[in-house]
């Protein structure tokens, strides 16, 4: 980055949206990242910090003085600030809280009281409420006197004198309905408030399936305490999806692509270690059949085929089940039917590919007996794979483990062990 | 389903939202699905159809008479109707188009002119526009005379006399700003219209990174032709995520969980067939070393370890790269650095786990030479795996193939072949 490029970089940085700046910072190696970070104005530094992956953010915050950080968080939206504070060390946290004015301090404390991963943690407390027994005309005068409703607001909430939720009043209705009508007549009552204690997952479900743009959040007494907007829900959906994809490879979506090599290597080592253990388990199965292999070395040659096919067939069942569970489509009444279907698919594909493999083996090695053995092993392993692909996520769900994260490892361990056992076992029985 | 349960089922169906009904239908076996479908009122049948997975929808439509279908689509939103029509056979399509009134017909034709997977295909054409040179007071009178703005609208669009986009006018501003002000003074100009030809992916990016609730869509002359709301964007995000997850196992997220066994088996067979070919490729590598294995049967026992570790390490690099590419974080300037990093991580983990495996093998078989061979093979395979995990998605991207779908198969083929080759090759060189 020389002087000329510094100028154009500065111009670029000035034009980007916080989220775009965050993606840019994440895609820069550490040194360049520091240079660009310095160019970002303190007015949007806070918004950029919220958008960053955890590890990248922590790296940048470590390099900031406390007063710089306080300047950065000024003017942030309260719900975003709450998300950021949840990630800061306690000492910094206290400093930032001290710097806020009384009203913001109180609002923030309210949000922080809820779990970050709940409706209360997602909500914004900056809400506008009106009473049901006033006319739209009065509402309009009130809103004008109040001033400032955030851009992108589609509705305000109707509450009674105890702040209990009554309904949602769409801004579009205020603008189009007869001004003499009462709020209670015009409001929409089919927008149901989300309990503050609801999990993010349930919030996503509500938004996604009811096509909401925003929703009221209520405490256990049905009092409106905040408002969730769909942009925060979109973030949750994105994070969940990435978590599943990355987690299946033992990775964390919040990691820094440019973390030091040693750190990345250490982090990825865990998954490799688990795999090494399962690989040695498979090897110990093969070890049982040393004498068999010693006599018929062809068995060693064809050994990789059966476990590998089982792994694929099992992963297919596992993926379907994991998704169906995530979508809440599995219950007692249909579980048995799905199990039967998956196993039958396993049987059909087992027999079908067994025939192909037997034929192929016969042509390659001119030995029908080894073809029969591999075909038999294939049938066994594909049926077991289908059953395991069904049973693993069901069991993990019952144990409250996310099947998207660890399901694959357990599955391939089973299909490897069964695959080697079936193929070499049948070989030992019928070929010697 | 007996008479009593039929009654309660009917009540349940009456209370569910179309999206919830769609999930319910998808989770029901074919016979029950037909029974519940009959209970759904024609007024929301269309909305349910839009939400269904392709295969489930097609099954239900096959069972409907044309006039039933026409009744079902009545009252659907135009953008949803366009999505549905894109899935219908041409003959039905014409019938439905004929049944629409002139205005809807015209609107629909407008949307159908765009690719389903573009901003034009996602948009709704039912938009409200105003001129910049009128006062808010005039806007209010206009809106009231016009009546009916859809619930959830957060902004209307400002256009000049040629319908060219000038800005967005948030409803919140209409309600809070001085009524004598001109629209041009109050409108927001930082909402940039999305070109109708933009891909869905770019639309998602805009919404996600600019926290939009709705955005104007403009044609190539900057004329406003429609409006995209965030709920449609959420659907795209969800579909993309599921497509990646399911596609990696050779599955289609639009398939019916209760499709007949034979159909499912046939569909999944393709992926198994590809895998069988790669498994035989691996077997043919092993075949080259028959005489080596014949002499040292221990090699067959330890054979699974090296390819398996390579598969895991490679998948980690592949997952990170695939995600970074999807997020647009990879370019020429940082690609080389990431490549170097991934390979170095491979080297570190290669050496680290090589040492562990060597030690373990030594303890198990009391033979340091076989420990050295497996350690050497492990180093080679983990470095190649890291390089392949980097190179495969980069190459696929250049060839316009989605790395999330086929990357894993290519990768494990490489790590299997290299793994067997390195382990058995080193064994042949140093142990005999």
Q: What is the mean pLDDT of residues B295-313?
A: 93
Same domain, A296 and A318: yes
User: A65, A82, A113 — which closes off a domain?
Assistant: A113
What integer is the mean pLDDT of A238-258? 84
**CB < 8 Å from B in window 272-311 of A:** 272-273, 275-276, 278-280, 282-283, 286-287, 290, 293-294, 297-298, 300-305, 307-309
Domain boundary among B213, B247, B281: B247
In a domain, B252, yes or no: no
Within-domain flag for A254: no
Question: Residues of A with CB below 8 A from B180's CB?
Answer: none
What is the distance in angstroms between the Cα of B101 and the nearest Cα belonging to chain A? Answer: 25
Would residue A123 count as lying in a domain? no
CATH code for position B60: 1.25.60.10
Considering the domain architecture, whether residues B103 and B138 belong to the same structural domain is answered as no
Among all chains, which residue has been given the structure tokens 């099954």? B59
pLDDT average, residue stretch B270-290: 93
Q: What is the pLDDT of residue B2?
A: 63
Contacts of B130 in chain A (CB under 8 A): none
Q: What is the tens place of the pLDDT at every residue in A175-215? A: 998 889 999 999 988 888 999 999 998 899 888 878 788 89
Q: With the C-alpha atoms ordered B216, B217, B219, B224, is the resulting torsion angle positive or negative?
A: negative
- The number of C-beta contacts closer than 8 angstroms across A and B is 353
- The answer to whether A159 and A133 are in contact (CB under 8 A) is no
> Is B344 domain-assigned?
yes
Q: What are phi and psi of A170, to 5 degrees?
A: -70, 140
Q: Centre a 10 Å sphere on the Cβ of residue B110 and count the other Cβ atoms it contains.
A: 17
| Range A77-105 burial, b when 16+ CB lie within 10 A, else e | bbbbbbbbbebbeeebeeebeebbeeebe
B162 within domain boundaries: yes
pLDDT for B169: 93
**Nearest chain B Cα distance for residue A351, angstroms:** 11
Whether residue B126 has pLDDT greater than 80: no
Calpha distance B432→B398 (Å, rounded) = 44
User: How many other C-beta atoms can be found within 10 angstroms of the C-beta atom of residue B394?
Assistant: 16
Burial class (CB in 10 A: 0-12, 13-18, 19+), B106: exposed
Same domain, B139 and B79: no
The reply to whether B301 and B421 lie within a common domain is: yes
Cα A202 to Cα A212: distance, rounded to the nearest angstrom? 13
CB contact under 8 A, A19 and B293: no
Q: Do B302 and B414 belong together in one domain?
A: yes
pLDDT of residue B146: 84
Q: How many CA atoms lie less than 13 Å away from A300 in the CB half-sphere?
A: 34
User: Is the CB of residue A416 less than 8 Å away from at least one CB of chain B?
Assistant: yes
Shared domain for B73 and B142, answered yes or no, is no
Question: What does the pLDDT look like over B145-172, one tens digit per residue?
Answer: 888 787 778 889 999 999 999 999 999 9
When CB atoms are compared, the residue of B147, B170, B320 closest to A251 is B320
Q: Which chain B residues have a beta carbon less than 8 Å from that of A278? A: 308
Q: Are residues B227 and B303 in the same domain?
A: no
Mark whether B210 and B284 lie in a shared domain: no
What token pair was written down for B142?
């206009």
Rounded to 5°, angle at Cα A65 from A60 and A66: 110
Burial status of residue B148 (CB atoms within 10 A of its CB: 0-12, 13-18, 19 or more): exposed
Q: ipTM score of the complex?
A: 0.84
Q: Choosing among A304, A357, A358, which should be mutated to test the B contact, i.e. which has the most B CBs within 10 A?
A: A304
> According to the 3-state scheme, what is the secondary structure of chain A?
CCHHHHHHHHHHHHHCCHHHHHHHHHCCCHHHHHHHHHHCCHHHHHHHHHHCCHHHHHHHHHCCCHHHHHHHHCCCCHHHHHHHHHHCCHHHHHHHHHHCCHHHHHHHHHHHCCCCCEHHHHCECCCCEECCCCEHHHHHHHHHHHCCCCCCCCEEEEECCCCEEEEEEEHHHHHHCCCCCEHHHHCECCCCCEECCCEHHHHHHHHHHHCCCEEEEECCCCEEEEEEEHHHHHHHHHHHHHHHHHHCCCCCCCCCCCCCHHHHHHHHHHHHHHHHHHHHHHHHHHHCCHHHHHHCCHHHHHCCHHHHHHHHHHHHHHHHHHHHHHCCCCCHHHHHHHHHHHHHHHHHHHHHHHHHHHHHHHHHHCCHHHHHHHHHHHHHHHHHHHHHHHHHHHHHHHCCCCHHHHHHHHHHHHHHHHHHHHHHHHHHHHCC
Query: Residues B317-353: pLDDT tens digits?
Result: 999 999 888 888 888 878 888 899 999 999 999 999 9
Model confidence band, residue B10 (pLDDT cutoffs 50, 70, 90): confident
CA–CA distances in Å: residue B23 to residues A108, B53, B69: 37, 9, 20
A150 vs B contacts (CB less than 8 Å): 172
- Cα separation, B122 vs B114, in Å, equals 9
Q: Listing from the earlier edge strand, what are the strands of the sheet with B224-229?
A: B194-195, B214-218, B224-229
CA A69 to CA A50: how far, in whole Å? 12
Cα–chain center distance at B425: 42
Q: Cα B246 to the chain's mean position, in Å?
A: 9
Instruction: Check CB contact under 8 Å for A261 and B344.
Output: yes
Q: By mean pLDDT, which of A223-227, B105-109, B179-183 is the weakest?
A: B105-109
CA count, 13 A, side-chain hemisphere, A146: 17
Does residue B123 lie in a domain region? no
Instruction: Give dist(CA A388, CA A382) in Å, integer.
Output: 10
B 170-229: CB under 8 A from A: 170-176, 188, 207-213, 229
Domain co-membership, B165 together with B229 = yes
B245: closest chain A residue by CA: A245
For residue B3, what pLDDT is reported? 66
The mean of the pLDDT values for chain A is 88
Confirm if B50 and B84 have CB atoms less than 8 A apart: yes
Question: Where is the domain boundary, B113, B145, B176?
Answer: B113
Phi-psi domain of A151 (left: phi exceeds 0; alpha: psi -120 through 50; beta: other)? beta
What is the extent of the structural domain holding A160? 129-247
**For the domain that residue B162 is a member of, what is the CATH number?**
3.10.580.10
Gap between the Cα atoms of B227 and B214, Å rounded: 7
Least Cα distance to A203 among A132, A82, A130, A114 occurs for A114
By the 8 A CB rule, do B300 and A286 touch? yes
In the structure, what pLDDT confidence band is assigned to residue A3 with cuts at 50, 70 and 90?
low
Q: How far apart are CA B71 and CA A339, in angstroms?
A: 37
The answer to whether residue B356 is domain-embedded is yes
Bridge-based pairing of strands A214-218 and A224-229 is antiparallel
Whether residue B200 lies inside any domain: the answer is yes
Of B261, B264, B345, the CB nearest to A261: B345
- In this prediction, residue A69 has a pLDDT band, given cuts at 50, 70 and 90, of confident
User: Å from A380 to nearest chain B CA?
Assistant: 15
Answer whether A324 sits within 8 Å of B257, measured CB to CB: yes
Same domain, B213 and B296: no
Q: How many CB atoms lie within 10 A of CB A177?
A: 17
Domain harbouring B419, CATH code: 1.10.357.20
pLDDT digits (tens, 9 = 90+) for A318-360: 999 988 888 888 888 788 888 999 999 999 999 999 999 999 9
Instruction: Give buried/exposed letters for B14-37 (b at 16+ CB in 10 A, else e).
Output: eebbbbbbbbbbbbbeeebbeebb
Per-residue pLDDT, A276: 93
Contacts of B314 in chain A (CB under 8 A): none
Identify whether residues B66 and B97 lie together within a single domain. Answer: yes
Instruction: Give the A window 339-398 contacts with B, CB below 8 Å.
Output: 341, 344-345, 348-349, 352-353, 356-357, 360
What is the distance in angstroms between the Cα of B4 and the nearest Cα belonging to chain A?
17
Beta bridge pairs of residue A129: A157
Tokens of B337: 């650095």
As a residue count, chain A comes to 432
A253 interfaces chain B, CB cutoff of 8 Å: yes
| The pLDDT value given to residue B1 | 56
Q: Does B141 touch chain A (CB under 8 A)?
A: no
A329 touching B (Cβ < 8 Å): yes
Does A4 contact B at CB distance below 8 Å?
A: no
Q: Are residues A243 and A173 in the same domain?
A: yes
Count up the domains in chain B and report the number: 3
Determine, for residues A269 and B324 on separate chains, whether the beta-carbon distance falls below 8 Å. no
């Amino acid at each position: 980055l020389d002087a000329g490029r510094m100028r154009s970089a500065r111009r670029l940085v000035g034009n980007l949206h916080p989220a775009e700046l965050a993606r840019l910072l994440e895609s820069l190696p550490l040194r360049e990242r520091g240079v660009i970070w310095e160019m970002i104005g303190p007015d949007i530094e806070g918004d950029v910090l919220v958008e960053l992956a955890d590890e990248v953010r922590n790296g940048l915050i470590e390099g900031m003085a406390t007063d710089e950080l306080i300047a950065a968080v000024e003017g942030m939206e309260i719900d975003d600030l709450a998300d950021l504070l949840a990630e800061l060390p306690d000492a910094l946290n206290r400093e930032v809280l001290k710097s806020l004015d009384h009203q913001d301090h109180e609002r923030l404390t309210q949000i922080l009281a809820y779990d970050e991963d709940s409706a209360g943690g997602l909500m914004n407390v900056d809400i506008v409420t009106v009473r049901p027994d006033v006319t739209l005309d009065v509402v309009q005068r009130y809103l004008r006197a109040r001033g400032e409703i955030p851009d992108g607001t589609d509705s305000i909430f109707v509450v009674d004198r105890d702040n209990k939720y009554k309904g949602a009043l769409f801004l579009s209705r205020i603008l189009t309905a007869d001004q003499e009508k009462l709020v209670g007549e015009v409001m929409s009552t089919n927008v149901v408030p989300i309990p503050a204690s609801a999990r993010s997952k349930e919030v996503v479900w509500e938004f996604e399936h009811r096509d909401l743009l925003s929703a009221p959040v209520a405490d256990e007494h049905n009092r409106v305490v905040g408002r969730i907007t769909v942009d925060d829900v979109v973030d949750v959906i994105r994070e969940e999806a990435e978590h599943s994809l990355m987690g299946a490879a033992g990775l964390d979506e919040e990691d820094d692509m440019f973390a030091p090599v040693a750190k990345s290597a250490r982090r990825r080592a865990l998954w490799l270690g688990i795999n090494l253990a399962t690989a040695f388990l498979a090897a110990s199965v093969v070890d049982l059949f040393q004498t068999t292999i010693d006599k018929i070395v062809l068995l060693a040659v064809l050994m990789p085929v059966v476990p590998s096919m089982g792994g694929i067939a099992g992963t297919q069942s596992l993926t379907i089940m994991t998704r169906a569970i995530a979508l809440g489509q599995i219950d007692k009444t249909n579980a048995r039917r799905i199990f039967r279907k998956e196993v039958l698919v396993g049987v059909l594909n087992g027999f079908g590919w067994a025939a192909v493999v037997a034929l192929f083996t016969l042509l390659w090695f001119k030995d029908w007996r080894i073809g029969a053995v591999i075909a038999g092993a294939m049938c066994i392993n594909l049926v077991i794979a289908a059953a395991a692909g069904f049973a693993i996520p069901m069991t993990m769900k019952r144990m409250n483990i996310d099947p998207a994260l660890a399901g694959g490892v357990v599955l391939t361990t089973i299909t490897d062990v069964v695959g080697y056992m079936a193929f070499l076992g049948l070989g030992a029985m019928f070929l010697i």
